[in-house]
Amino acid sequence: MKSLAVVMIFLSGFMHGCDSDVLWTESPYAVVKIDNKISLYYDLGNGNYIGRVSGGVVSVGSNKRYVVAKKCSLNDCKYYYIERSKDDRYLNSKIAVHGPLTLSDYVETSIRLDFPSLNEL
C-alpha cells in the first residue's frame, strides 16, 4: 500500500511537469500522451494515473467487459486486453493486463471473448 502511494505521488508530479494530453477516456481508463509517448492508464482522478499498457498505444476499444489496446513499435505490433471486472486501482498491471498477444492470438481470443473493436487514436 505504501508503494502505491509513492507511485501515485510520482505519477502526479510527473504528469503535471510534462506536456500531456488525454486522447481517449472510458472511466476508469484513459489513453494519455505524455511527451509524445502514448500509454493506457487506470485513471485514479485528480490527474493521477497507474500504467496499464506503456508507450506506443495506437488503437484502443472498450465495452462493459473489456478494454483492448494495440501497441506498435518500429516494426512490430502487439495486442493487450483488460478484463474490467478483475481490474482494480490497487492491482499491479502485470496482473491486470493480458498480453502481449500476437495478431493471430488476439483474433482467436477476440472471437472467443467477444472483444470490442479497436479504434485508432
Residue-level pLDDT, tens digit, the chain, 121 residues: 444 443 444 454 444 456 789 999 999 999 999 999 999 999 999 989 999 999 999 999 999 999 999 999 988 999 999 999 999 998 888 888 999 999 999 999 999 999 999 999 9
Number of domains in the chain: 1
Q: What is the pLDDT of residue 114?
A: 97
Determine contact, residues 39/69, Cβ cutoff 8 Å. Answer: no
φ/ψ of residue 84, rounded to 5:
-50, -40
Q: Using the 8-state DSSP alphabet, how is residue 91 labeled? A: S
Q: Strand ranges (DSSP E) for the chain?
A: 20-26, 29-34, 37-45, 48-53, 57-62, 66-72, 77-83, 97-101, 119-120
pTM of this prediction? Answer: 0.83
Determine contact, residues 89/44, Cβ cutoff 8 Å. Answer: yes
Which structural domain range is residue 85 located in? 2-120
Q: What is the pLDDT of residue 62?
A: 98
